[in-house]
Amino acid sequence: MLKSIFISIVTLLLLPLVLTSSIFAQQIERSEVTLVEKGEVINQDYFAAGEKVTVAGTVNGDAYLAGGNIIVEGEINGDLMAAGGTVIVRGKISQDVRVAAGQIVISGEVGGNITSLGGSVTITDSAKVNGSLTAATGNLSVFAPIGKGATIGVGEATISNIVGGNIQAGVGSLTLGPNAQIDGDLTYVSENVADIQSGAQISGKTTHNLPPKPDKEKAAKAITAAALIFKVISFVAILLIGLLLLKFFPTFTNKIAQTIEQKPRAALGFGLIAVILAPILIVLLLITVIGIPISLILLFAFLITLYFSKIFVSLVIGKKTFKWINQKAGDYQALFVGLIIYYLITALPIIGTIVSILAILAGVGAVLIIKKELYSQFRSKKLL
């Protein structure tokens, strides 16, 4: 019994990914090893994802790369945007570099700015950066000239070359090596005084500020403000996603909303089963090791379903509200009004929590019911 329920949940949650995989495959190269060979020229923006991504040729456009190990040793005549475990840039990037990775090493030429987020960032002495440097990292080492200043937030920073502008830093520790030359002001926030070694030069003013002491009242106000901003951003994000669902999948979205309205008990029941059993199945797959990829995909699909549930419930709330006041409204207006009401109700203590839980269960359950119907239709037509 449990086995059949497990299989049903997996199939129904992953069904949208299976049906849409062919669409995404046309837009981005995906494989374990993705390679732009030396001498190869791509005259458009380039998208690639894989365990290892190497660009040794020329991309006449922007490059968007994601993978475990990314190496750029060719030429990109546009921006480079990369995310991965390790990113190594030893080629030529004509414009900006934006990188997020565990380890980042830049030893090539960058025509524009560098924005980096990672565990460690190293700019070797063979590199050349014509623009500015922005870095948020645990460890930063700069041995190449930076053309237009630097803004950094790091644990440990070492700078040992020319920086053609101001440096603004929030650091645990800052070291200016003997070859450091700052053609501007040095302003840094740290508990520790910077280690400015013999030979280092600072043409402008040096300002050392201590981190501000925590103020409980200000911290409380900051937390409240941050929570409010997060709520607003969350509302806008879910509204945009809901509008996109209504734009591109109107029938599917409305069927789920109708299921919540017409079959609330069934939706809640299916949702409760899914919310209880799906995490158990994900953990069991993780334990088997070989099931880790499937568990991660299932987790992603499950979280997306949870997140989308409030869209379908809000659409029902909006439609019922307009019906109650005897006014006509389209799906977009119903979703907007429904989301406002949903957010106001869920902001209430206790009641809000209960409503949130019920909305998640109803939304997830309705999604599973509709996916089950779609699955049956595809099977009957031998499309699966």
Q: How many residues does the chain have?
A: 384
| Cα 179 to Cα 122: distance, rounded to the nearest angstrom | 16
Q: Within 13 Å, how many C-alpha atoms sit on residue 268's CB side?
A: 10
Angle between the 250-262 and 351-380 helix axes, to the nearest 10 degrees? 120
Structural domain includes residue 349 = yes
Low-confidence ranges of the chain (pLDDT < 50): 1-32
Judgement on whether residues 123 and 174 belong to the same structural domain of the protein: yes
Judgement on whether residues 38 and 165 belong to the same structural domain of the protein: yes
Structural domain includes residue 15 = no
Q: Look at strands 58-59 and 75-76 and give their pairing.
A: parallel
Query: For the whole model, what pTM was predicted?
Result: 0.52
The pLDDT score that the predictor gives to residue 162 is: 93
Judgement on whether residues 204 and 228 belong to the same structural domain of the protein: no
When divided into structural domains, the chain yields a total of: 2
The DSSP letter of residue 112 is S
Instruction: Render the burial of 238-252: b for 16+ CB within 10 Å, e for the rest.
Output: bbeebeebbeeeeeb
| Cα 324 to Cα 162: distance, rounded to the nearest angstrom | 69
Structural domain for 129, as ranges = 31-209
Q: Are 114 and 106 in contact (CB under 8 A)?
A: yes
Judgement on whether residues 200 and 227 belong to the same structural domain of the protein: no
Which of 290, 293, 336, 298 shows the shortest CA–CA distance to 317?
336
